[in-house]
């Protein structure tokens, strides 16, 4: 039976969404094409009807993951977002969480297409954080972007370090708590810090 163009697009979207979650959960090398396609509900042979290579899918899945994170953050204040980001719930569900925190180290070893997707995702995170902390940036020209980079690096690093500890480790929680306590101050206006 011939698949309609609309159905083919829906199938592709399902593969990308499935890949996005699996890659975040297991890493790029931890997901084979056969397993991915089976998880998405398709046969292995259908993969190359949709993608030229696994790298093409990895880049598209990263973009999908960044969009999912942005959608979850829609309408949420910066402090509330940071509190959730640096929570045990986020730490313990990498397949549902931030693509940056789950896959940065993997992306660094991937082809340019994947790195380009990560750079675009990071730029979007910087822009989103900038729009949420616009009041905090008044009177701090030039340093605002650097502060956003510091905050993003700190929260991603906190999740990565916490995930590297054993699940029941007090250190895993201590990392999250320390960063949850310090990050909001970096997002507040200079007058509020005095």
| CA 58 centroid distance within chain | 13
Q: Select from 56, 37, 55, 59 the least CA-distant residue to 46.
A: 37
Q: So what's the pLDDT on residue 74? A: 85
Rounded to whole angstroms, the Cα distance separating 159 from 38 reads 30
Q: What is the mean pLDDT of residues 6-33?
A: 97
pTM for the whole structure: 0.88
Could you tell me the fold of the domain covering 5-193? Tetracycline Repressor; domain 2 (1.10.357)
pLDDT digit string, tens, across residues 133-173: 654 445 555 688 998 999 999 999 999 999 999 988 999 99
Range in 50-59, 86-95, 136-145, 157-166 with the lowest mean pLDDT: 136-145
With contact defined as beta carbons under 8 Å apart, do 67 and 49 qualify? no
**Where does the pLDDT of residue 191 fall: very low under 50, low under 70, confident under 90, or very high at 90 and above?**
low
Residue 175 to residues 15, 20, 148, 161, Cα–Cα distance (Å) = 34, 26, 20, 7
- pLDDT more than 90, % of the chain: 72
Rounded to whole angstroms, the Cα distance separating 117 from 136 reads 28
Sorted by where each begins, the domain ranges of the chain are 5-193
Query: Percent helix, strand, coil in the chain (nearest 5)?
Result: 75, 0, 25
């Amino acid at each position: 039976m011939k698949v309609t163009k609309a159905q083919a697009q829906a199938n592709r979207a399902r593969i990308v969404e499935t890949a996005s979650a699996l890659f975040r959960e297991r890493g790029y090398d931890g997901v084979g094409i056969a397993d991915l396609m089976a998880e998405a509900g398709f046969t292995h042979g259908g993969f190359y009807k949709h993608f030229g290579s696994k790298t093409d899918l990895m880049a598209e899945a990263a973009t999908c993951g960044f969009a999912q994170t942005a959608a979850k953050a829609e309408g949420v204040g910066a402090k509330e977002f940071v509190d959730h980001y640096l929570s045990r719930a986020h730490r313990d569900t990498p397949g549902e969480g931030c693509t940056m925190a789950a896959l940065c180290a993997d992306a660094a070893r991937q082809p340019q297409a994947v790195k380009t997707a990560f750079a675009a995702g990071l730029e979007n995170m910087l822009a989103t954080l900038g729009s949420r902390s616009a009041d905090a940036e008044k009177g701090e020209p030039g340093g605002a972007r650097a502060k956003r980079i510091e905050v993003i690096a700190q929260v991603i690093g906190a999740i990565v370090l916490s995930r590297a500890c054993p699940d029941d480790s007090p250190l895993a929680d201590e990392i999250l708590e320390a960063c949850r306590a310090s990050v909001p101050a970096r997002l507040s206006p200079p007058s509020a810090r005095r």
